[in-house]
Amino acid sequence: MEELLGLFIGIGLSATCGFRVFVPLFGMSIAHHAGALSFSSGFDWIGSWPATIAFGIAMVIEIAAYYIPWVDNLLDTIATPAAVVAGTIVTASMVGDVSPFLRWSLAIIAGGGIAAIVQGSSVLVRGASTVSTAGLANPVVSTGELGASILGTLISIILPTFAVILVVVLLAFLLRRFIKPSSSIS
């Protein structure tokens, strides 16, 4: 049961990596210092003070960069692979006492996969915002993504089962929104 709860936390946090790469990592580190989160063997470095400081600085820079017009779109080219890597690491760090093959399979497929889907959707929304408003609405999009990342991080740590339900609902919405069924020819 503990492994399943860890997987739920990892999946929820991985989804938030798709909105902002460093918010969930910083949140995990803070939660570890508060005694609310423990990591799988080999991932204690996430909760170290140097990592907490580095995640905090990177988070502030990432948040600020998304509010600079056109830099936000450029940042997406870096953030997309970074989100997948972060989502993979986040999930691997939360999956407990399982074989390394299972841990990394779950981390890559569930963690990296959900981070990629959320980040890819975010890129599409930002691109549409840039084209339709010449980038003027991008700060609104950035604020929404930041809010989703912060709220998602908190929910994932405090209510992981609820977080997974939200991730499933988000995935269903994204699939319905971006994958339209083809019309049949009669």
Tens-of-pLDDT digits for all 186 residues of the chain? 678 888 899 999 999 999 999 999 999 999 999 999 999 999 999 999 999 999 999 999 999 998 887 787 788 889 999 999 999 999 999 998 889 999 999 999 999 999 999 999 898 888 898 899 988 888 999 999 999 999 999 999 999 888 889 888 887 887 777 676 655 554
pTM to 2 decimals? 0.88
**CA-CA-CA-CA dihedral for 117, 119, 120, 126, to nearest 10:** 140
Alpha helices in 47-159 (DSSP H): 49-65, 71-94, 100-106, 113-133, 138-158
Alpha-carbon span 7 to 88, nearest angstrom = 11
Picking from 123, 114, 165, 164, the residue whose alpha carbon sits closest to that of residue 145 is 123
